[in-house]
Amino acid sequence: MPFFQTSSHPKTVKSILNQSKGIIFDFDGLLADSEPYHYLAYNEVFERYGHSLDKDEYWVEWTSKGKGIAGEIERHNLDLGVDSIELRKQKFEVYSRYCKNGDVRLFPEAIKVVKCLKSKFPLAIASGSWGHDIRAILNNAGVEHLFENILGKESTSKEKPHPDIFIKAAETLKCPASQCVVIEDALKGLNASKAAKMQCIIIRNKLNQNIDFSQADLVISSLAEFATLLEC
């Protein structure tokens, strides 16, 4: 039975979900209010070597475009005396601390959205964060059990915008890629979903207002609006 009863008109949440058999969520910035803590962790590490990250630049270049450490070093012509591998290792340690101690929390609407979709679809998470950090956040919120699988950084050697992690998520859901819907908030995630031949719903937030998401199947103004449109 379709998730919604719909009429035939341009794509809506209803029409997209009625064609779907599985839902794949991004995590950071979408379900979890974690992006500020990724910034704080990276900034703490960079400041150890004499460089501070610009917060506005970080949201665009790191969070949405996925340029990362290499992009920061190239943009600012940095010579920090330490390689990217060590910088990343130190950042992971700082960020994991935030996850374990409960600083990083789910957005208020996230649990409502997840529970609503779980009532009709198998769910997975496909994220560039480590799985143990994602699980720590979900466990603190009491909702880890709602997901069939959680795929983190360790799940694939190729990060978004490469499609590997979404393809693997679809396999764990036993769902053809063409019948999986990706819920995302970042350009690199949108590009990965399209490379995986999946439909993608983009959720706007305060960090991605100026990003061009014209390739998305649907763009929704907020997670709160998405929760309302689901009619649960």
pLDDT tens track for 57-100: 998 888 777 789 999 999 999 999 999 999 999 999 999 999 99
Quote the pLDDT of residue 7.
35
Quote the pLDDT of residue 59.
85
pLDDT in tens, 203-225: 999 889 989 999 999 999 999 99
CATH number of 13-34+106-230: 3.40.50.1000
Buried b (16+ CB within 10 A) or exposed e, 131-165: bebbbbbbebbebeeebbbbbbbebbeebbbbbbb
Stretch among 2-6, 15-19, 54-58, 75-79 having the lowest mean pLDDT: 2-6
pLDDT in tens, 148-200: 999 999 999 999 999 999 999 999 999 999 999 999 999 999 999 999 999 99
Task: Name the residue ranges covered by the structural domains of the chain.
Answer: 13-34+106-230, 35-100
Please give the model's pTM, rounded to 2 decimal places: 0.87
Quote the pLDDT of residue 200.
98
Mean pLDDT value of segment 129-143: 97
SS3 24: strand
Stretch among 4-8, 58-62, 109-113, 125-129 having the lowest mean pLDDT: 4-8
Quote the pLDDT of residue 10.
59
Sequence-distant contacts of 145-150: CB under 8 A, at least 24 apart: 146/114, 146/115, 146/118, 147/114, 147/123, 148/122, 148/123, 148/124, 148/172, 148/173, 149/124, 149/125, 149/173, 150/124, 150/125
Count CB-CB contacts under 10 A for residue 169.
30
Radius of gyration of the chain (CA): 18
Q: How confident is the model at residue 3 (pLDDT cuts 50, 70, 90)?
A: low
Contact assessment for residue 149 and residue 172, using Cβ atoms and an 8 Å cutoff: yes
pLDDT at 4 over 50: no
DSSP letter (8 states) at residue 95: H
pLDDT at 1 over 80: no
Quote the pLDDT of residue 6.
37
Quote the pLDDT of residue 9.
39
